[in-house]
Structure 1
């Protein structure tokens, strides 16, 4: 069994060799591994299609990574902000994830500068850490709205539902996702997302239905965030619909059952039993 949860070629910049060589090798090895598995699980249709295009002919099932809907759920934002000591009257834009190059967090900071110039109560909260943390903090320090950018570092996973509950909009700029688990967590929390229209992300965020998909440039991202912050009724409608979609598509219990079914089918083909 092989679960293809990473687009390995998108991380070639971490290897101190020629990038095209590393990318080609990552694609070749991951494809070869998938082709030898009894079955492959892809977290999104785009990953399944990529593997098929590479010539993988093993059974491929699309099973997104699930979210605990009992933990990630809509909650009172005022209580969440009070518990986390976040500004009560602010318009909170949230990012959760690694602060690494492939996540394009710098793009979020530039987009937020545009947001802050229009929405005076806007604050950006970033939860996570990574290799780019210091560079990003330096970049944030050059912004006119630097006092409204909050790097909170790593937080206990048990606290994450509170951050989603406290926010008004989730902002995500990565173009390297196989699914974008944090987007599913935001949806489960009833939080509308603004994200780049990119493979993986566009299967979680439904443009105009559960959030907004944009081009990758910071201006487009910023304008989308501004539009949601200034329209609370639309924001609430998108968030409510996002929760409905999450209940149907990302419930961890449903994903568990689908995963077990894939294993059972693979075992049956191989003449084995799943214990």
Structure 2
């Protein structure tokens, strides 16, 4: 098959969506498929290559580490005309997501959309404390789902969320896969030595993009409480983003900068070493669709302490592979859960680690790839417009433009209708 993927985030950006697209495209090619990725330019990234078309983009949108692509370009049209996709796979509902719909209509092929992100939880990049904007984003994203032929939900929680928001096209629950071998065999001792972390101390760790929507003020407060109560323990926070300096300042203000380490983003063998340097994985985000780093951490044999939320409840089993805490738990309660693992007997920690590895095995790439290939093949077996005339083709493309605009109009209308500040009628 020939699959054209459209994504607003891709390498060298470090994040769950970029990692998912990169991993899926690599494994599809290894299985004999052809994959063309359409993605924005990123500072420090590669230019066009045999597998990727880079679109011009505005860098560091609204102070974030995202690029906003300009979805036009002659090169894209030329590459697509040569490639002629069998499947279009969209990874975002906005910007290049609309381009994906137009391309699927032009080449009369099915379009699949993966609902990677709770988009309304990212609205602070545009406006703070704007409930109407969050409602608009939800309506646009779920309305986009209904313009596609099928939707992939990374977790049962997201599938339920889509059903609650009247998504009527088929929704398949397919978690993003992980490469288990990549996160095993890390040298934690090497990284500990480099960062000045004693080899025999307990380390509470975290990996992820350090952004506001990840609930990192809560995490920093929990780690500070934990470190103060356990003077021999250390914290290791791997990642980069707009919250990194804020977290560093909080640790410094608490007098903990020597025991709280923020070395920046890591990948490959360095990331495996980072996981191996930790004893427990601390995760406070409540905005995930899957929480890919949880599976990575469990692959490395780490028990997890996290808050109950979508993308977390599917993988974390309280008392079996870590601690699943009620979302209402305050940061002191989170610190207490970390302390419980720090003081638990070694044989209990070993049991938790073994169960964590067993859980992570459910998220292997071979399983994910097989399910996505099955979805693609099922959609291809039912062509929508075979044998149509040029007039019918032109009309279909106009109808798709109408549908895209209609989704925007519907979302705007629903937002205005639900606006609590709107004056009451009569």
The answer to whether TM tops 0.5 is: yes
Asked if the contact 1:167–1:191 (Cα under 8 Å) also holds between the matched residues in 2, the reply is yes
| DSSP 3-state at the match of 1:41 | strand
Hey, what does 2:339 align to over in structure 1? 226
Hey, what does 1:36 align to over in structure 2? 147
1:2, distance to aligned residue in structure 2 (A): 0.3
- 2:360 equivalent among 246, 269, 274: 246
Alpha-carbon distance in 2 for matches of 1:133, 1:116: 18
Hey, what does 1:209 align to over in structure 2? 320
1:118, distance to aligned residue in structure 2 (A): 2.8
Alpha-carbon distance in 1 for matches of 2:185, 2:323: 19
The structure with more radius of gyration: 2
Q: Give CA deviations for 1:136-183 in whole Å, capped at 9, x if unaligned.
A: 211111114332111111223441111111210000100100011111
Alpha-carbon distance in 2 for matches of 1:228, 1:74: 22
Q: How does 1:9-24 map to 2 (within 5 A)?
A: 9-16=120-127, 19-24=130-135
Hey, what does 1:141 align to over in structure 2? 252
- Give the stretch that moved more between structures: 108-117 or 178-187: 108-117
Q: How many aligned residue pairs are there?
A: 271
Q: Give CA deviations for 1:231-251 in whole Å, capped at 9, x if unaligned.
A: 13222211110101111x111
Q: How does 1:48-59 map to 2 (within 5 A)?
A: 48-59=159-170
1:207, distance to aligned residue in structure 2 (A): 1.1
| DSSP 3-state at the match of 2:313 | helix
Asked if the contact 2:155–2:290 (Cα under 8 Å) also holds between the matched residues in 1, the reply is yes
Relative contact order, higher structure (CA 8 A, sep 6+): 1
Q: Give CA deviations for 1:189-228 in whole Å, capped at 9, x if unaligned.
A: 1111100111111112111111101134211210111000
Hey, what does 2:378 align to over in structure 1? 265
Hey, what does 1:65 align to over in structure 2? 176
Structure 2 residue ranges without an equivalent (≥5)? 1-111, 386-426
Asked if the contact 1:74–1:190 (Cα under 8 Å) also holds between the matched residues in 2, the reply is no
| DSSP 3-state at the match of 1:178 | coil
Instruction: Decide whether aligned partners of structure 1 residues 51 and 270 sit closer, same or farther in structure 2, where only a CA change above 3 A counts.
Output: farther
Alpha-carbon distance in 1 for matches of 2:153, 2:195: 35
1:119, distance to aligned residue in structure 2 (A): 2.2
Alpha-carbon distance in 1 for matches of 2:114, 2:130: 25
Structure 1 residue ranges without an equivalent (≥5)? none
With structure 1 as the length reference, what TM-score do the two structures score?
A: 0.92
Asked if the contact 1:68–1:252 (Cα under 8 Å) also holds between the matched residues in 2, the reply is yes
Q: Give CA deviations for 1:94-146 in whole Å, capped at 9, x if unaligned.
A: 11111111111221221112212332221001111111222221111111433
Alpha-carbon distance in 2 for matches of 1:114, 1:240: 28
| 2:308 counterpart of 1:197 | yes
- Give the stretch that moved more between structures: 162-171 or 17-26: 17-26
| 2:269 counterpart of 1:155 | no
Q: How does 1:44-193 map to 2 (within 5 A)?
A: 44-73=155-184, 77-78=188-189, 81-82=192-193, 86-193=197-304
Instruction: Decide whether aligned partners of structure 1 residues 138 and 79 sit closer, same or farther in structure 2, where only a CA change above 3 A counts.
Output: closer
Asked if the contact 1:74–1:188 (Cα under 8 Å) also holds between the matched residues in 2, the reply is no
Alpha-carbon distance in 2 for matches of 1:160, 1:147: 21
Hey, what does 2:351 align to over in structure 1? 237
| DSSP 3-state at the match of 2:382 | helix
Hey, what does 1:256 align to over in structure 2? 369
| DSSP 3-state at the match of 2:131 | helix
Alpha-carbon distance in 1 for matches of 2:131, 2:266: 35
Pick the structure with more helix per residue.
Answer: 1
